[in-house]
Amino acid sequence: MITRRDLLKLSGLGLGIALLPDGFMLVKASENPQIKPHLWASITKDNYLVLLINKSEMGQGVYTGLSMIVADELDFPWGRVIVKPAPAKDTYIDKKMGSQLTGGSTSIRNMYEFLRLLGASMKEMILESASREWKVPKEKLQAQMGYVSYTNKKASYGELWEKALKLPIPTKVRLKDPSEFLYIGKGVPRIDTEEKVEGKAIFGIDVRRKDMVYAVVERPPYFGAKPQSVDDSQARQMKDVLDVFTISSGVAVCAKTVEGALKGREKLRVAWTKSPLEGFDDERLSQYYLDMLKKKGVVARKDGDPILVLEKAKRKTSAVYLLPYLYHATMEPMACVVDVKEDRCIIYAPVQAQTWTLQTAKRITGLPEDKIEVYTTYLGGGFGRKSNVEFVKEALEISKRIKKPVKLIYTREDDVKSGWYRPMNATHLEGALDEKGRVIAIYHKIAVPAVFEWAGRPSQVDKAAVEGIENMFYEIPHVHVEFVKVDLPIPVWFWRSVGSTHNAFTLETFIDRLAKIGNRDPVELRLELLKNHERAQKVIQVAAEKAGWGKRPKHGDAMGLAYHYSFGSHVAQVAEVSLDKNSGQIRVHRVVCAIDIGPLVVHPNLLISQVESAVVMGLSAATKEKVSFSKNGPISLNFDTYPLLTMSEAPHVEVHIVRSEGPMGGVGEPALPPVAPAVANALLWGYGIQINNLPMTPESIRSLL
C-alpha cells in the first residue's frame, strides 16, 4: 500500500507528474501549495519504476496488465517495476467511467491510451535531460532497458529522473509502432505472484492497527427488517466484549478478539420489525416472479410488429424461464479496517469502488476529502460484489461510535445474509419462423429487479435488465423487448457479466429451439442471423471448427454452441457434454471458446486465464448455484448448502483468440455468459431436454427425463 510519506519519497524532492483536468502538469508541492501532486509514476535513484495503479487487483492480473503498458513505452526492465495501489482521489478517476472503479471489463481498454502516453512522456523527458546534460542531440541517444547511452556515456533512468522532472512535459510524443513492443502482445510474469506465493500480500482481513478492536454485525432474518428492541445484557457479560449498539444494518458487537465478538453476538436477543418478505420461500418467490410476467412493463426495444407476426405465424414456439438469485462467493468474505478520528479517517479495504468508498466516508464522518485516506488492499475475489461498499459503511459507523480503529469481519454466513445477489428473474420468450426456417420475430419479456437502481442510478429501463437482448446483433425483422421491474427488499448487485448472465442463457437456448423446429443447424442459423456482422460470425466459425462441429464429440455424447456479445467483445463457445440418465448427472468434458476483443491483446496469458475462470464460474452457476429461501429467509448460508464446481468437475477449456479491426473489448466478463446456454443446447440436441430453470442439478434433470 502507498502512504503519504511514500509519495514524497518516490517523487524525489516533492516532484511528480500530476494529471489535472487540463492534462499533464508538473508540480512541486513546496512551490505551489494550491496544487498537490498525485503521482502516477516515479523512478527511484536506484532505478526502480514505481507505478500507482488506479484499478483494484482481485486476481485478474490488472496490476500486471496496466503496468506493462507503461514499462513498454518507457523501455524499462520488467524485473524493476513496482506497483502500488493509487489512493482514492479524483486524480485517479477513470475518466471514461467518471469514477475510480474496477468493473465492466474496462481496466485495460479504458486506461490503455493514457498509460502509453504516460510511459512515452517519461521516456521523452529522460532523453531530453540526458541530451542537455551531455550536450548531445536527442536523436543520437538510445534509451533501452532503463538506461540512456551514447558512445561511451551511459546513465540509468533513475540518475536522470530528478532533472527530467524539471523539464516541461512534452505536448507531443511518439508512441511505438506495434512492431516495436517489448511486452505488449507477448506477456510478462505476473507482478503479484511473488508476494502471494510468499504470503506477503495484504488482503482486507490481514490489516492490523494499534489498539484495533474487532466487530461483527447481527443481521435480520428477513431482508427489509430493522432492530425493534435489543437485549444485550448477556452479550455484555461475555469475555472481551466492549460494546453493543445498533447501526443502520443491524446490531454491532465490538470486542477485543474475533472470538469474543462472535460469542457475544450469540448471546444477543433481538426483536425485529416486520418484513414484506416474511413467509417467502423458494416456491412462493418463484410464483411471485412468474406472476410479474403478467404485468405490463416498459418497452426497451420494438422493431416492426412482432406481436402481429407471432399471432399469424404457423411455425412458432414459446418458453418461460426462471433463474435464481446467485451469491458472489468470493474467496475472501467482506472485511475491512476503519479508523475514524475527529480530524482524520483512515480506511483499509478490499474494494472495487474507491470513489464510492470516499463519498461514503465523507457522508458518515462529515470530514473533508483531504482528511480521508483510502488504502486499497488486494481483493480475495470481487466479481462485482466489492464495488458495493456497504461493509465499509458499517465499519465507518462502528468506528465513529466506538472511537477506535475497527476491523469488521463477515463470516461466510454474514456474507450471504447481507444479500447483494445476482438478481432472480423470470423471462417469457416467443419466436416465429417463416416457411424457409428463417427467424422473423422474437418477443422477449423479462421480470427482474433493477440492479442500477440499487446502485443509485435509476432509469425507466434498467440497463442491466435488458443488456444482451436490447442490443443483440441478430438481425430479426420483428423484435419486442420489455422490462418489468420486480421491487422486493432483497438487495441485488452487479455479478460478473451482470444482466448478460441471464439474458444470454434465455436468448441462446431459445435460438436453438427455433433452429430445431425449423430443422436448421444452429451454427448455420446464427451465421444467417449475423450475416452483416463479420466479427460475430468469425468467433462462431472458429469455435465450431476447433470443436469439430458436425462430427462426433471427442469427449461426451453431445455438443452445444452459444454466442454472446458483451462488454465490447464477441464470444462463442462449444460445450461437449455427457449425461448419466440414471443419476441425472451432467458432465461437461470440454469447452472450446473463441473470443474477439479487437486487434490487440495486451497480455495473452492473462486473457486465457480470465476466459478459463469465467467458463468455470459460469458453469458452476449453471449446474450448482442457487440462493434458496425458506420462510425464515435465505438458507444457502455456506458451501454445504451453496455448492460450487470442484476441480475434479472442471472441464478442459480451450481458448482461441480471434483478432479483428475495431475498438478494444473487455476480457474479465464476456466469456461467462455463453457457457450455460452451450451446455443446455448440448442437452437439447443430444438428449431432447429443454432447460427452462437453473441450476441444472441432477434432481432437475431427472424430473425432465
Average pLDDT, the chain: 94
Q: What is the DSSP string of 270-290?
A: EEE---TTTT--HHHHHHHHH
DSSP assignment of 237-263:
TSTTEEEEEEETTEEEEEESSHHHHHH
d(CA 28, CA 553): 65
Task: Give mean pLDDT, residues 448-453.
Answer: 98
Q: Find the helix or strand (DSSP H, E) in which 374 lies.
A: strand 372-376
What integer is the mean pLDDT of 10-26? 45
Contacts of 21 (CB under 8 A, 6+ apart): none
Q: How far apart are the first and last CA of the chain?
A: 55
Mean of the pLDDT values across residues 242-262?
Answer: 98
Closest CA to 573 of 595, 551, 597, 558: 595
Half-sphere exposure of 474 (CA within 13 A, CB side): 28
Mean pLDDT in residue range 674-683:
98
How many angstroms from the chain centroid is the CA of residue 19?
26
Q: How confident is the model at residue 288 (pLDDT cuts 50, 70, 90)?
A: very high
pLDDT digits (tens, 9 = 90+) for 94-124: 999 999 999 999 999 999 999 999 999 999 9
pLDDT (mean) for 241-259: 98
Provide the CATH number for the domain formed by 282-326+421-704 in this structure: 3.30.365.10
Number of C-beta neighbours around residue 489 at 10 A = 12
> Rounded distance, CA 127 to CA 138, Å?
6
Match domain 204-274+334-409 to its CATH number in 3.90.550.10, 3.30.420.480, 3.30.365.10, 3.40.50.720. 3.30.365.10
Q: What is the pLDDT of residues 20-41, one digit of tens each?
A: 444 444 443 334 444 344 478 9
Task: Give the torsion sign (CA, 520, 526, 532, 534).
Answer: negative
**Residue 8 confidence (pLDDT):** 43
Sign of CA dihedral 184, 188, 190, 194: negative
d(CA 47, CA 166): 18
Average the pLDDT over 533-548 and give the result. Answer: 98
Fold match, 204-274+334-409 / 282-326+421-704: yes
| pLDDT tens digit sequence for 349-373 | 999 999 999 999 999 999 999 999 9
Q: State the Cα–Cα distance between residues 187 and 409, nearest whole angstrom.
A: 37
For the chain, what are the domain ranges?
4-197, 204-274+334-409, 282-326+421-704
For residue 121, the one-letter residue type is S
| Mean per-residue pLDDT, 549-574 | 96
Decide if 92 contacts 38 (C-beta within 8 A): yes
Banded pLDDT at 385 (limits 50, 70, 90) = very high
Assess whether pLDDT exceeds 80 at residue 457.
yes
* H or E element that contains 300: strand 298-303
Q: What share of the chain is helix, strand, coil (3-state, %, to 5)?
A: 35, 25, 40
Query: What is the model's pLDDT at position 91?
Result: 86
pLDDT tens per residue, range 503-514: 999 999 999 999
DSSP 3-state of 566 = strand
Question: Which single residue is written with the C-alpha cell 416472479?
Answer: 289
User: SS3 for 688?
Assistant: coil
Look up residue 386 and give its DSSP letter.
G
Q: Is 519 left (phi over 0), alpha (psi -120 to 50) or beta?
A: left
Q: What is the DSSP string of 336-372?
A: EEEEE-SS-EEEEE--SBHHHHHHHHHHHH---GGGE
460: helix, coil or strand? coil
Report DSSP state, residue 321: E
CA-CA-CA-CA dihedral for 362, 366, 371, 372, to nearest 10: -30
Using alpha carbons, select from 381, 385, 397, 410 the residue that is nearest to residue 347: 397
Q: Is 565 helix (H, G, I), strand (E, B) or coil?
A: strand
Distance CA 35, CA 525 (A): 60
Q: What is the pLDDT of residue 316?
A: 98
Indicate the fold that domain 4-197 takes in CATH: Aldehyde Oxidoreductase; domain 4 (3.30.365)
pLDDT at 232 over 60: yes
Q: What pLDDT shows up at residue 17?
A: 54
In this prediction, residue 37 carries a pLDDT of 41
Query: Pick the residue with more confidence: 663 or 1?
Result: 663
- Average pLDDT on 325-343 reads 98
DSSP string across 392-436: HHHHHHHHHHHTS-EEEE--HHHHHHT--BBPPEEEEEEEEE-TT
pLDDT at 263: 98
How confident is the model at residue 18, as a pLDDT? Answer: 52
pTM here?
A: 0.94
Lowest-confidence pick of 161-165, 311-315, 464-468, 542-546: 161-165
What does the alpha-carbon distance between residue 42 and residue 165 come to, in Å, rounded to a whole number? 10
Residue type, 387: S
pLDDT of residue 632: 84
Q: Which helix (H) or strand (E) holds 569?
A: strand 569-580
Positive or negative, the Cα torsion across 108, 109, 110, 116? positive
pLDDT for position 35: 38
Closest CA to 12 of 168, 165, 121: 165
Q: Residues 128-148: what's their mean pLDDT?
A: 97
Q: Mean pLDDT across the stretch 377-386? A: 98
Cell numbers linked to 297? 412493463
pLDDT band at 6 (very low <50, low <70, confident <90, very high): low
pLDDT tier for residue 170 given thresholds of 50, 70 and 90: confident
Distance CA 226, CA 219 (A): 9
E strand or H helix that includes residue 448:
strand 439-448
pLDDT, position 1: 55
Query: Cell 470530514 appears where?
Result: 367
Q: Answer whether residue 433 shows pLDDT above 80.
A: yes
- Which residues, 6 or more positions from 621, have their beta carbon under 8 angstroms from its beta carbon? 326, 501, 676, 694, 695
pLDDT tens, residue by residue, 578-590: 999 999 999 999 9
Residue in this structure with the C-alpha cell 479487437, named with its chain if needed: 598
Side chain identity at residue 301, one-letter code: R
Query: Average pLDDT in the 379-396 region?
Result: 98
| Average confidence (pLDDT) over 390-412 | 98
- Tens digit of pLDDT for each residue in 645-657? 999 999 999 999 9
* Pairing label, strands 227-231, 269-272: antiparallel
Backbone Cα Rg of the chain: 27
The rounded distance, in Å, linking the Cα atoms of 233 and 155 is 70
pLDDT higher than threshold 90 for residue 14: no
CB 260 within 8 A of CB 240: yes
* Phi, psi (degrees; rounded to nearest 5) at 355: -60, -45
